[in-house]
Structure 1
């Protein structure tokens, strides 16, 4: 019993730690602190404890937290493989560990060799997948997630495919958002919901990038609405699938609003906070979509916790 309690604690620590890494990574980008440690890795400007500057503090804090969370995740992996009989838990923690190692390698490469905005945006994408995997892992040990691998409400093949396609599409929209951030294109549209006072602005440069991201987000909202009402029609309100669909819709709506709030706060004191909120909401939305994907998989007759 005590071992299970520690296992549960470490899965939650891994999940919250990955979310913190996502937020801190966005903070590094938004404050342009990515070069705060120069070209050195894992040291910072050639020192284990660097001289204090805002940029070096933010960048080095991100590295430090990533290292600590990596150790927590490694401990979680050992606990899961030793004390858990859940095959899905082993898959989630293994994939999360792989993504964490990959992210560390890409992060080091980004410091040593300057990379394009397209590649830098991929770093956020990998971190997002890692968070989703640790979220799924922790949900196994939550009260409503204990039967994660057994809950298989009847859904048509078409709807199951739709859930997976919407999840993949949402990842693409998130990647575009990260690309907007890394390419410093956020000023392409200075107002919201219009773009520079127009429904369809002049599509070039930063404006084109931001407009594509916005259009993609609107389409995603429409897909989420369709999916929610489809799920509500097919399953009961007490079902895990319905509850996940409800939170999917809530996070999608909040994400749209937070994107508008971030645009309106551009150049003001609240902009950084709005950006962090935007990151948290999209992380939660993607995590819920991944949970829906898992619920479409064939279930098992019996699961061992």
Structure 2
């Protein structure tokens, strides 16, 4: 049965709202606006609504307001999908995860404001928001019945592609974490060149910050090679399964743009628009990889002995 257009629009709004939360969080970090409201939460500088507006206050308070508003959207979508689409195997779990991780990232953000957190803990903030975004995105795809349009409910994935899909998705989370660690340790410009830290000298990183930056670059390079291999494999062996064929081609396109964006961020000396596009691309890539995991689950259900 086709879902109502209202539910579809609501799902799109929730997905777009989660993207705003992700981009807003990245903007807070990249502009050093995390303490724009001081050590006050949920209020701002001692009042519920800030009375003195600076750039930092505007960015931080707007991020909080968007997070609060989108939280209600996701709560409604979770309950709505649970009641209307609860018969679909993945819906109840996705609805729970969407809310759970959204609340978790909100608490981490609040804890940072009120008590402060270490860089390694703060780096989890973006990753946890990303998990909530992925759950909301998958719910939206189910609401739009993408599986039926692309015959994804009949997908047949062989063991080799299954393990590569699971592996690269888990690994992508490591790439996300290392990228967040670059931002939170202020290591973004410790290496002024690309692809090496200093193109005039071939040498190992000489300090912690260079290790963080170059570690992230190495991790990003590996995921590009890995997805390139999976895409070639899929093009060769899965031409008759459109959702896999085009899914991995799109994943390769996104990860290629991600590499270019990462390079451009360094060479432009942290251009804010390039930096935010970098965050957006990794969100889209992770969401797509999570959908591929869902397809692996569908294949296991349809072909348990494959």
Q: Please, what TM-score do these two structures have when normalized by structure 2?
A: 0.92
Look up the match of 1:10: 10
Residue 245, structure 1, aligned to residue 251, structure 2: no
Residue 207, structure 1, aligned to residue 207, structure 2: no
Residues 151-230 of structure 1 correspond to what in structure 2 (within 5 A)?
Answer: 151-197=153-199, 198-230=201-233
Look up the match of 2:272: 272
Q: More deviation in 121-130 or 187-196?
A: 187-196
Kept after mapping to 2: 8 A contact 1:148/1:295 = no
Residue 53, structure 1, aligned to residue 48, structure 2: no
Kept after mapping to 2: 8 A contact 1:39/1:112 = yes
Residues 1-305 of structure 1 correspond to what in structure 2 (within 5 A)?
Answer: 4-50=4-50, 51-84=52-85, 85-142=87-144, 144-146=146-148, 151-197=153-199, 198-236=201-239, 239-266=242-269, 271-299=271-299
How far residue 163 of structure 1 moved from its aligned partner, in angstroms, is 0.7
Q: Secondary structure at the match of 1:193?
A: coil
Kept after mapping to 2: 8 A contact 1:30/1:181 = yes
Q: More deviation in 65-74 or 131-140?
A: 131-140
Unpaired segments ≥5 residues, structure 1: none
Q: Please, what TM-score do these two structures have when normalized by structure 1?
A: 0.92
Instruction: Go from structure 1 to structure 2 and tell me whether the alpha carbon gap of 1:113 and 1:210 turns closer, same or farther (over 3 Å shift).
Output: same
Q: More deviation in 213-222 or 154-163?
A: 154-163
Unpaired segments ≥5 residues, structure 2: none
Q: CA RMSD for the aligned pairs?
A: 2.0
Kept after mapping to 2: 8 A contact 1:254/1:281 = yes
How far residue 242 of structure 1 moved from its aligned partner, in angstroms, is 1.1
Aligned length in residues: 298
How far residue 155 of structure 1 moved from its aligned partner, in angstroms, is 2.6
Q: Secondary structure at the match of 2:153?
A: coil
Kept after mapping to 2: 8 A contact 1:248/1:288 = yes
How far residue 238 of structure 1 moved from its aligned partner, in angstroms, is 5.3
Q: Distance in 1 between matches of 2:237 and 2:153?
A: 14
How far residue 182 of structure 1 moved from its aligned partner, in angstroms, is 0.7
